Amino acid sequence: MKKQLLSLFAFGAILSASAQTILFEDNFDAYTAGTGVVAQNSAWSYWSAATNSDALVSSTVASSGLNSVNISGTTNDLVLPIGPFTTGKYDIKFKMLIPTGSTGAYFNAMHIWTNSAATYQWAGDVFFDATGLATWTTGFVSGGAAAPMGLDTWFDVQITADLDNDLGRIYFNGVVANEWQWSLNNANGNAGTNAIAGVDFFGTDASNTAGNYFIDDVQVIESTGVSVKPIAAEKISKVSIYPNPTTSNFSIEIPENFVGGEFTIIDLTGKVVMKDRITQSAIKRVDVSNLNDGIYLIRMNNGSVHFTDRLVKK
């Protein structure tokens, strides 16, 4: 069920060794199949304390061991409370399977949530259709679709909440599918709360009808000392931004990997304040003297590799 441990590992060619602490993990094998998850482990929760929305442990399929959890129909609304945390970097990982005959699936991540109060704030919503095709809404912007995950097969899902850099990511099978400013309120795109309070597994689908899917091998991992670059960025050269903080301008070294892509600067409301095409590998000098003082995200993306870092203007 719940376990604490610390591990060290090599995270890739351009990253230093990084500490990871597993704050929570559950493979449901210690549970009784046919009985609810919350009924057997109070670390999980109903969406609302007033309504039993428990999901059943199932022995029908499992990614590991004997059991998984079946999220089936809109009476199932299973929440994994997390924190709430307002600093640090957290990875929520789980296995997911959509069976043949399902109309799809859905889960979300929350900035603000408790099961005893009707005060919520969504960080992002992820939907799947009957073919396993994933779409999402983050920062009040709809996106997707990722390649279909397929039916009757387990696939990896990861949500990353990098609260120190106000950055969110969704991964499928280890590949970054989406990246956004984590703190944006997904209900309206306005500035929200830079926090993570839980992940909600709700039994609906992309058409807002009754969905059906399974989850297994759930982990919540706290990471320290990890670069803000996504997994794919290990393919690129080291990127430097200097001076940072800056009062008027900065320079950024652009590797060849990003030629043909886009360079953007985004403020903490999610507004793109500068955008440019990357036409060559060079040291790019950028004038930000007309920008208000504050924190900005610097992003480069050419579709296959990504880079995000934080710039302070003062």
Tens of pLDDT, residues 11-36: 233 333 456 889 999 999 999 999 99
Q: Do both 24 and 96 map to the same domain?
A: yes
The answer to the question of residue 231 being in a domain is: no
Note if the pTM is more than 0.75.
no
Q: Do both 116 and 54 map to the same domain?
A: yes
The answer to the question of residue 111 being in a domain is: yes
Give the mean model confidence (pLDDT) for residues 84-109.
Answer: 96
The answer to the question of residue 75 being in a domain is: yes
What pLDDT sits at residue 232? 38
Edge to edge, the sheet with strand 249-253 lists: 241-242, 249-253, 283-287
Q: Do both 305 and 249 map to the same domain?
A: yes
The domain that holds 119 is classified in CATH as 2.60.120.200
Last residue of a domain, one of 180, 197, 224: 224
Q: Do both 164 and 245 map to the same domain?
A: no
The answer to the question of residue 230 being in a domain is: no
Q: Do both 211 and 282 map to the same domain?
A: no
> Hey, what are 82's tokens?
């997390």
What pLDDT sits at residue 304? 62
Q: Do both 55 and 202 map to the same domain?
A: yes
94-106 burial code (b ≥16 CB/10 A, e <16): bbbbbbeebbbbb
**C-beta of residue 276 within 8 angstroms of C-beta of residue 311:** no
**C-beta of residue 122 within 8 angstroms of C-beta of residue 185:** yes
Query: 260 lies in which domain range?
Result: 236-313
Count of CB atoms within 10 A of residue 70's CB? 23
Q: Do both 203 and 297 map to the same domain?
A: no
Q: Do both 133 and 97 map to the same domain?
A: yes
Spatial CB neighbours of 257, under 8 Å, sequence gap ≥ 6: 235, 236, 237, 302, 304, 305
Last residue of a domain, one of 224, 255, 283: 224
The answer to the question of residue 125 being in a domain is: yes
What pLDDT sits at residue 302? 78
Spatial CB neighbours of 237, under 8 Å, sequence gap ≥ 6: 253, 255, 256, 257
Q: How far apart are CA 2 and CA 28, in angstroms?
A: 10
Smallest CA-to-CA distance from 93 within 186, 169, 205, 152 is with 169
pLDDT-based confidence at residue 241 (cuts at 50, 70, 90): confident
What secondary structure letter does DSSP report for 235?
A: G
Across all residues in the chain, what is the average pLDDT?
A: 85
Q: Which helix (H) or strand (E) holds 78?
A: strand 77-85
pLDDT tens, residue by residue, 176-201: 888 899 999 999 999 999 999 999 99
Last residue of a domain, one of 201, 224, 247: 224
Helix (H, G, I), strand (E, B) or coil at 203: coil
The answer to the question of residue 256 being in a domain is: yes
> Hey, what are 285's tokens?
């000098």
Give the mean model confidence (pLDDT) for residues 194-214.
Answer: 94
Q: Which of 45-49, 234-238, 249-253 has the lowest mean pLDDT?
A: 234-238
What pLDDT sits at residue 233? 37
What pLDDT sits at residue 17? 42
Strand partners, 156: 95
Count of CB atoms within 10 A of residue 291's CB? 16
What pLDDT sits at residue 181? 92
